[in-house]
């Protein structure tokens, strides 16, 4: 069972996710009568930052063992280091559905599913989310290409947001109220790339046609 501190952070992040989607509204509600404003990163980066180019979101259906088909969301990205020094790359991607459920990439994704997607994309430079972890050297010639995958449990999400962390060194610690006691609790927010997709209707009817992003920007999360 998650610890109280973990639950507080998850609730705070869900509220922050809602707030970022509602901007310029002042904030989101965290518990009864408590407002939580969505903080913004510094307009000029003050810590190291990588160049992140995220591709469109796609859907793929793969037959599992026993012949049962299951759908998965996936996207590819390219990351380049022009920060002035080599950086340890350890990215984290999360998918937030319209009901504010948070899904970590790779979780409940069989290794065979990732392998099948890599084979279909047929890109020898493309790495899965484990293989890509490591030192990212400077320069465009050392750029890395990655793949991230999530189970597509909701095929009528309405909207989807992807949050990509680990591409900036900027952090900020803020106080948030405990949802039960109202007492302040500190959480650390990291500069994160948010990409939002509008998905009207049933996404599985699109086949493999890409869902292009409606919005891309840096936030603190």
Asked, for residue 11, whether it belongs to a domain, the answer is: no
Asked, for residue 56, whether it belongs to a domain, the answer is: yes
Asked, for residue 193, whether it belongs to a domain, the answer is: yes
- Total count of domains within the chain: 1
pLDDT digits (tens, 9 = 90+) for 157-188: 888 999 999 999 999 988 888 778 888 888 89
Rounded-to-integer distance, Cα 20 and Cα 85, Å: 31
Q: Is the pLDDT of residue 138 over 70?
A: yes
Q: Is the pLDDT of residue 217 over 60?
A: yes
Asked, for residue 134, whether it belongs to a domain, the answer is: yes
219: its two tokens: 């936030």
Rounded-to-integer distance, Cα 186 and Cα 175, Å: 4
121: its two tokens: 């994309």
Question: What's the CATH code of the domain at 213?
Answer: 2.60.40
pTM score over 0.95:
no
Which domain range does residue 60 map to? 41-172+180-220
Q: Is the pLDDT of residue 33 over 60?
A: no
Mean pLDDT of the chain: 83
Mean pLDDT value of segment 185-212: 84
Instruction: Judge whether 132 and 82 are in contact, CB under 8 Å.
Output: no
Mean pLDDT value of segment 35-47: 75
Rounded-to-integer distance, Cα 31 and Cα 34, Å: 6
């Amino acid at each position: 069972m998650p610890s109280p501190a973990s639950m507080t952070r998850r609730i705070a992040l869900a509220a922050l996710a809602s707030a970022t989607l509602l901007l310029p509204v002042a904030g989101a509600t965290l518990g009864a009568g408590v407002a939580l404003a969505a903080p913004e990163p510094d307009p000029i980066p003050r810590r190291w930052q990588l160049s992140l180019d995220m591709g469109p979101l796609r859907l793929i259906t793969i037959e599992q063992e026993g012949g049962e088909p299951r759908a998965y969301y996936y996207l590819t990205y390219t990351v380049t280091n022009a920060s002035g020094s080599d950086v340890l790359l350890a990215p984290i991607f999360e998918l937030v559905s319209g009901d504010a459920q948070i899904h970590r990439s790779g979780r409940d994704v069989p290794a065979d599913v990732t392998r099948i997607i890599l084979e279909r994309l047929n890109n020898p430079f493309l790495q899965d989310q484990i293989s890509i972890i490591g030192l990212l050297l400077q320069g465009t010639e050392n750029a890395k290409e990655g793949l991230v995958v999530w189970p597509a449990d909701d095929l009528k999400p309405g909207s989807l947001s992807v949050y990509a962390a680990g591409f900036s060194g900027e952090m900020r610690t803020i106080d948030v109220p405990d949802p039960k006691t109202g007492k302040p609790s500190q959480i650390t927010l990291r500069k994160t790339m948010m990409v939002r997709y509008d998905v009207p209707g049933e996404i599985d009817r699109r086949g493999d046609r890409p869902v292009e992003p409606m919005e891309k920007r840096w936030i603190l999360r």
